[in-house]
């Protein structure tokens, strides 16, 4: 850990993250994994309000079907039905959940769509430290793509009611949805942002939590004058160097065109799955393709079949989803989508 010291790769990576994320993101806290970056974000929000003399703001508000990680704080804001809540009922903090929006990506958000969120925020704002959401794409909790206007209206409500907004960009960051960060679809800036996964291209474990100067300085000026978290391997030089190199490779590549090509390939390749009676929906956004079935898959059956078909895919629940690397070529993408169709049609 830094322990009052620092090193060149951490400084360089922090500068790069500040440069490429929304302008208000000016302070960076490194951690070891996405789950821990969410823990850090939640602790930041609570410590921020504590420093402002509002110690009672300790709760978090989110939408159902979300996934934020497997550590205790992250689990508490993960979907209470699809998550692991039942095993840890007496231990997990109890948070506020509202139904996820039904307005899909590309659609407008009506007053009815935002009403459950608005009501809960207005009712419980005195206790809520922050809202936490996966922007635009809900990942492992359901692979749902929701309206950018909904996200924009959530941001507006947080500002109106003096509640922080945490955006979990761990799965959506670094170009996955067609924007460098998914919050750009809604043209909003959070108070706190989590990044991970693609930060190092998947080679070395590393994550980061970014925040505004308002949040970081309020914490630093409050009691006890430091942020209360310190992972042993935070910002280790090897991981930071891997992240710097990965980000450089991404930004110097035609990544927008690559993601657009993948999106087109996924649409074309998965379209034939609509012919199958077992398929409920096909949806694609950027370099994310999802086949939703009517019934949950049998992992013991389907995963070996996919491997035998030459692809490494991990379905879950009723979903077979694809998030291929940006360097995938057209031939491999066709192999990938053809294997999904082949296996689903044989079930």
Average pLDDT over residues 5-25: 97
pLDDT (tens digit, 9 = 90+) per residue, 116-152? 999 999 999 999 999 999 999 999 888 999 999 999 9
Helix orientation angle between 8-20 and 237-252, rounded to the nearest 10 degrees: 40
In a domain, 211, yes or no: yes
Q: Name the residue range of residue 277's domain.
A: 255-346
- pLDDT (tens digit per residue) in 16-61: 999 999 999 999 999 999 999 999 999 999 999 999 999 999 999 9
Residue 1 in any domain: the answer is: no
| Domain C-terminal end among 251, 279, 309 | 251
- 87 pLDDT band, cuts 50/70/90, is confident
Q: What is the CATH number of the domain that holds 269?
A: 3.90.1150.10
Tell me: do 200 and 341 sit in the same domain.
no
In this structure, is residue 268 part of a structural domain? yes
Tell me, yes or no, whether 156 and 205 share the same domain. yes
Identify whether 3 is part of a domain.
no
Angstrom distance (rounded) from CA 130 to CA 62:
9
- Residue 243 to residues 25, 183, 248, 286, 314: CA-CA distances in angstroms? 18, 21, 8, 22, 25
Q: 251, 282, 304 — which closes off a domain?
A: 251
CATH number for the domain harbouring residue 176: 3.40.640.10
> Residue 49 domain-assigned?
yes
Residues 172 and 222 in one domain: yes
Predicted pLDDT of residue 195: 98
Whether residue 305 is contained in a domain is answered as: yes
The mean per-residue pLDDT over the stretch 326-335 comes to 97
Q: Are residues 57 and 126 in the same domain?
A: yes
279 with 205, same domain: the answer is no
Are 30 and 93 members of one domain? yes
- CB contact set of 74 (below 8 Å; sequence gap of 6+): 35, 38, 39, 42, 68
Query: How high is the pLDDT of residue 80?
Result: 87
**Residues 243 and 177 placed together within one structural domain of the fold:** yes
3-class secondary-structure state, position 218: helix
If asked whether residues 25 and 165 sit together in one domain, one would say yes
Domain count for the chain: 2
Q: Give me the percent of the chain exceeding a pLDDT of 90.
A: 92
Binned at pLDDT 50, 70 and 90, residue 252 comes out as: very high
Query: Is the pTM higher than 0.75?
Result: yes
* Torsion of Cα atoms, 268 then 142 then 212 then 31, to 10°: -100
User: Does the residue 2 lie in any domain?
Assistant: no
Residues 275 and 198 in one domain: no
Same domain, 301 and 337: yes
Secondary structure letter of residue 139 according to DSSP: -
Q: Out of 41-55, 83-97, 114-128, 239-253, which region has the weakest mean confidence (pLDDT)? A: 83-97
Residue that terminates a domain, selected from 251, 274, 295: 251
Provide the pLDDT for residue 125: 97
Asked if residue 291 is part of any domain, the answer here is yes
Indicate whether 246 and 265 sit together in one domain.
Answer: no
Residues 241 and 264 in one domain: no
For residue 26, what pLDDT is reported? Answer: 98
């Amino acid at each position: 850990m830094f322990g009052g010291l620092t090193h060149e790769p951490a400084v360089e990576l922090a500068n790069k993250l500040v440069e490429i994320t929304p302008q208000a993101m000016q302070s960076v806290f490194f951690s070891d994994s996405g789950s821990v970056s969410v823990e850090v974000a939640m602790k930041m929000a609570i410590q921020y309000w504590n420093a402002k003399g509002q110690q009672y703001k300790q709760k978090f508000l989110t939408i159902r079907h979300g996934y934020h990680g497997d550590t205790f704080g992250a689990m508490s804001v993960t979907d209470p039905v699809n998550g692991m809540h039942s095993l840890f009922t007496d231990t997990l903090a109890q948070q506020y959940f509202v139904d996820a929006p039904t307005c899909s990506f590309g659609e407008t958000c009506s007053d009815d769509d935002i009403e459950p969120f608005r009501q809960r925020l207005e009712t419980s704002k005195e206790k809520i430290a922050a809202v936490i959401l996966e922007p635009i794409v809900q990942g492992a909790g359901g692979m749902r793509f929701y309206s950018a206007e909904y996200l924009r209206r959530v941001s507006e409500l947080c500002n109106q009611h003096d509640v922080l907004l945490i955006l979990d960009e761990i799965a959506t960051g670094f170009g996955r949805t067609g924007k460098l960060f998914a919050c750009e679809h809604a043209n909003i800036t959070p108070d706190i942002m989590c990044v991970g996964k693609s930060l190092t291209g998947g080679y070395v474990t590393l994550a980061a939590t970014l925040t505004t100067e308002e949040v970081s300085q309020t914490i630093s000026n409050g009691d006890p004058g430091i942020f209360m978290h310190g992972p042993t391997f935070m910002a280790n030089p090897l991981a930071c160097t891997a992240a710097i190199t990965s980000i450089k490779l991404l930004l110097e590549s035609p990544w927008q065109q690559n993601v657009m090509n993948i999106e087109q390939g996924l649409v074309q390749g998965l379209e034939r799955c609509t012919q199958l009676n077992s398929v409920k929906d096909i949806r694609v956004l950027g370099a994310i393709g999802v086949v939703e079935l009517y019934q949950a898959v049998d992992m013991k059956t389907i995963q070996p079949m996919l491997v035998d078909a030459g692809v490494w895919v991990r379905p879950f629940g009723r979903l077979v989803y694809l998030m291929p690397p940006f360097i995938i070529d057209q031939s491999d993408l066709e192999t990938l989508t053809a294997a999904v169709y082949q296996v689903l049609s044989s079930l």
